């Protein structure tokens, strides 16, 4: 089967090759239902030849879309539409194997309007919503790829059926391919980029703006006879999240003290807890609270990549050894401890959308809980000496300790700069702080997982450099994210600037502004101006210096460096994982793109 996709691509003689994103000229909607049905049948035939083991990529979708259009003698303008249909046909059997209760129906925003008007499509939307609810599907509307990503990573949805404009679906393909969640999609018969000559397409179906029977077919698609091939990392992503579910967390990390949980004291807070068990209770609650769990996933996936290559692989996520799970759990425990301390040091009021630990329980208790989790992380590794071997445990502890020291050095440099009178900072200074503060966490997660599976001597140094570039790019994206706020941690924008933290955005502004504007920016930090006015002026100065575009360029530069290192890594499964980490860690849609930052 591996040759089938190659064979299809080899027959593609389109001179334009692959583009990174489908342009508006390639987003035409097939006007007639007969044409759409013919194209759908050909897409189904083409995807039947795919090798499903390595999954799908946007490059493959576009190449095969062009091949389908060439075979049917249809114009290039239908590439975007054909890619969406190809993706749906690829995922059909996978969606069929998912229970309706774990499927999500995504409808366009207008579907939430009352169907009592004379608009036929609203009545059709209302009917679809009712049918989906009766089948047990979750029904939501979505307007952005960010909302889609949050739903994909929530853990309760295993498949998606979507109805949206071709523009929205083309962007959603990035997220679907990233996470590997099965998805079926029906494009609306009009598009934001449609020209007036395409208006007949929106009139083909007078009852709705889409082929309603296609959606009906997708809603009711039943279980397949065989279990579908899983996305290579989706099960491990779910396993990383499951480590922090209450029952699994207690199994891997048994409670040593007896006492009620925070939930059981019904919001009364730490004062209502048993004093001897309070620290453990608050720590367990915070560990299970939230996050993307990217770091424990990296540990699990790194172990799995090398173990499989050595023919002692896990087979599936259920057979991951508990010792490896506890090492992954320790990585997140260290990360959560650092968040508690960072929130104190940065005076952040929110974490995961609720008051940060020091706001909820007081400064002394929060410091103590952070310290407790550091000890807990080391304990989780030490107890696995029998399962992993004393030498392996020693090496992992050395990796963790080195990361801990460097992270503290980076945080210390940030704090000293923040509290200094002189706010001069070069971009290189900021990047060096990032390399110390952010990269060690990724490095510890990756190397610890690999050490659980075997020796590190062949690739330790290149992986350290990979993690350095990955960490720097991640932190720059986090800086950009600060300028839009987010539901997880920060409910206001520009908090890094208000807090006087050394960011590469600040450094780029100092470098790019003329002397009068640079002096104005420096004065703003200590001014008594209203916070909103201060942030607005800083934004204007950042725009004048081209900060957001320059930061995006740095992200691209460090991403390219990480990808180049990944290309030189063996074994192949590990190389594939590194490329995947670049995609999932540097999920730029979760940070504000530079042009959008400037408009917020």
User: Once rounded to an integer, what is the mean pLDDT over residues 565-590?
Assistant: 83
pLDDT the model gives residue 285: 87
pLDDT the model gives residue 464: 96
Tell me which of 26 and 48 has the higher pLDDT. Answer: 48
Say if residues 158 and 182 touch (Cβ distance below 8 Å).
Answer: yes
User: Residue 413 and residue 409: Cα distance in Å, rounded?
Assistant: 6
What's the pLDDT tens digit per position in 335-393? 999 999 999 988 888 887 778 999 988 999 999 999 999 999 999 999 999 999 999 99
| Res 597 pLDDT > 60 | no
What's the pLDDT tens digit per position in 261-282? 666 665 566 666 778 888 998 9
pLDDT the model gives residue 588: 52
pLDDT the model gives residue 210: 74
Tell me which of 43 and 272 has the higher pLDDT. Answer: 43
pLDDT-based confidence at 526, cuts 50/70/90? confident
Say if residues 180 and 160 touch (Cβ distance below 8 Å).
Answer: no
User: Looking at the DSSP assignment, which residues form a beta bridge with residue 143?
Assistant: none
Q: By percentage, how much of the chain surpasses pLDDT 70? A: 74
Q: Which of 28-42, 113-127, 159-173, 544-558 is predicted most confidently? A: 544-558
pLDDT the model gives residue 506: 92
User: Once rounded to an integer, what is the mean pLDDT over residues 241-269?
Assistant: 79
pLDDT-based confidence at 21, cuts 50/70/90? very low
pLDDT the model gives residue 15: 31
pLDDT the model gives residue 52: 54
Q: Which of 25-34, 61-70, 493-502 is predicted most confidently? A: 61-70
First CA to last CA distance, the chain: 48
Tell me which of 424 and 292 has the higher pLDDT. Answer: 424
pLDDT-based confidence at 102, cuts 50/70/90? confident
pLDDT the model gives residue 231: 55
User: Residue 500 and residue 507: Cα distance in Å, rounded?
Assistant: 12
User: Residue 265 and residue 113: Cα distance in Å, rounded?
Assistant: 41
Number of CB atoms found within 10 A of residue 372's CB: 17
What's the pLDDT tens digit per position in 230-242? 456 778 888 898 8
Number of CB atoms found within 10 A of residue 75's CB: 10
User: Once rounded to an integer, what is the mean pLDDT over residues 562-575?
Assistant: 91
Half-sphere exposure of 339 (CA within 13 A, CB side): 22
User: Once rounded to an integer, what is the mean pLDDT over residues 509-523?
Assistant: 92
pLDDT the model gives residue 269: 65
| Res 472 pLDDT > 70 | yes
Identify the CA nearest to 563 among candidates 545, 580, 539: 580
pLDDT-based confidence at 310, cuts 50/70/90? low
User: Once rounded to an integer, what is the mean pLDDT over residues 561-588?
Assistant: 87
Mean pLDDT over the full length of the chain: 79
pLDDT the model gives residue 421: 67
Least confident of 226-230, 410-414, 463-467: 226-230
Bridge pairing between strands 350-351 and 138-141? unpaired
pLDDT the model gives residue 106: 83
User: Residue 50 and residue 213: Cα distance in Å, rounded?
Assistant: 26
Q: By percentage, how much of the chain surpasses pLDDT 90? A: 34
Query: Between vectors from CA 16 to CA 11 and to CA 22, what angle results, nearest 5°?
Result: 105
| Res 531 pLDDT > 70 | yes
pLDDT-based confidence at 467, cuts 50/70/90? very high
| Res 409 pLDDT > 90 | yes
pLDDT-based confidence at 299, cuts 50/70/90? very high
Least confident of 17-21, 185-189, 421-425, 571-575: 17-21
User: Once rounded to an integer, what is the mean pLDDT over residues 397-405?
Assistant: 96
Say if residues 467 and 434 touch (Cβ distance below 8 Å).
Answer: no
Q: Which of 108-112, 337-341, 490-494 is predicted most confidently? A: 337-341
| Res 6 pLDDT > 50 | no
- DSSP state at residue 482: T
Cβ-Cβ contacts under 8 Å for 6 (sequence gap 6 or more):
none
User: The whole model's pTM is what?
Assistant: 0.62
Say if residues 94 and 228 touch (Cβ distance below 8 Å).
Answer: yes
């Amino acid at each position: 089967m591996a040759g089938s996709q190659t064979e299809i691509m080899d027959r593609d003689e389109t001179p334009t090759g692959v583009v990174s994103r489908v342009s508006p000229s390639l987003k035409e909607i097939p006007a007639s239902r007969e044409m759409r049905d013919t194209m759908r049948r050909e897409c189904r035939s083409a995807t039947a030849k795919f090798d499903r083991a390595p999954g799908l990529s946007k490059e493959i979708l576009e190449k095969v879309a062009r091949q389908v259009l060439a075979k049917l003698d249809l114009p290039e303008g239908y590439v975007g539409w054909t890619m969406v249909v190809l993706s749906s046909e690829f995922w059909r059997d996978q969606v069929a194997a998912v229970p309706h209760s774990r499927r999500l129906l995504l409808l366009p925003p207008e579907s939430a309007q009352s169907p009592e008007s004379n608009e036929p499509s609203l009545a059709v939307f209302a009917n679809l919503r009712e049918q989906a609810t009766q089948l047990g599907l979750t029904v939501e509307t979505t307007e952005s790829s960010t909302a889609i990503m949050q739903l994909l990573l929530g853990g309760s949805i295993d498949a998606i059926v979507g109805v949206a404009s071709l523009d929205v679906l083309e962007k959603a393909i990035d997220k679907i391919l990233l996470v590997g969640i099965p998805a079926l999609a029906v494009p609306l018969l009009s598009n934001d980029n449609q020209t007036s000559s395409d208006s007949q397409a929106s009139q083909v179906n007078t009852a709705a703006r889409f082929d309603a029977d296609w959606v009906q077919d997708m809603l009711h698609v039943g279980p397949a006879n065989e279990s579908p091939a899983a996305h290579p990392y989706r099960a491990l992503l779910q396993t990383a999240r499951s480590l922090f579910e209450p029952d699994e967390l207690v199994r891997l990390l048994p409670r040593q003290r007896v006492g009620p949980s925070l939930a059981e004291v019904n919001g009364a807070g730490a004062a209502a807890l048993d004093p001897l068990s309070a620290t453990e209770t608050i720590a367990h609650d915070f560990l299970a609270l939230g996050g993307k769990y990217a770091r424990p996933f990296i540990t699990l996936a790194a172990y799995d990549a090398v173990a499989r290559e050595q023919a002692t692989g896990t087979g599936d996520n259920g057979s991951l050894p508990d010792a490896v799970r506890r090492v992954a759990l320790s990585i997140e425990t260290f990360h959560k401890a650092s968040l508690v301390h960072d929130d104190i040091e940065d005076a952040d009021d929110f974490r995961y959308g609720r008051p940060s630990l020091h706001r909820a329980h007081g400064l002394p208790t929060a410091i103590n809980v952070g310290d407790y989790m550091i000890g807990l992380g080391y304990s989780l590794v030490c107890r696995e000496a029998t399962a992993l071997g004393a030498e392996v445990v020693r090496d992992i502890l050395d990796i963790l300790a080195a990361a801990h020291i460097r992270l503290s050095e980076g945080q210390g440099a940030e704090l000293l700069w923040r509290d200094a009178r002189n706010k001069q900072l070069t971009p290189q200074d900021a990047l060096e702080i990032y390399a110390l503060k952010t990269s060690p966490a990724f490095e510890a997660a990756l190397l610890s997982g690999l050490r659980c599976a075997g020796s590190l001597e062949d690739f330790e140094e290149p992986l350290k450099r990979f993690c350095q570039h990955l960490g720097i790019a991640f932190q720059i994206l986090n800086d950009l994210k600060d300028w839009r706020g987010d539901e997880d941690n920060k409910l206001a924008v520009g908090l890094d600037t208000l807090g006087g933290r050394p960011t590469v955005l600040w450094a780029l502004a100092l470098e790019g502004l003329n002397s009068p504007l640079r002096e104005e920016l420096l004065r703003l930090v200590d001014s008594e101006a209203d916070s909103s006015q201060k942030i607005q002026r800083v934004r204007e100065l950042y725009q004048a210096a081209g900060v957001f575009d320059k930061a995006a360029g740095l992200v691209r530069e460090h991403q390219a460096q990480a990808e180049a290192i990944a290309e030189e890594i063996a074994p192949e499964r590990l190389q594939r994982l590194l490329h995947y980490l670049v995609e999932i860690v540097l999920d730029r849609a979760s940070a504000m793109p530079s042009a959008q930052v400037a408009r917020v």
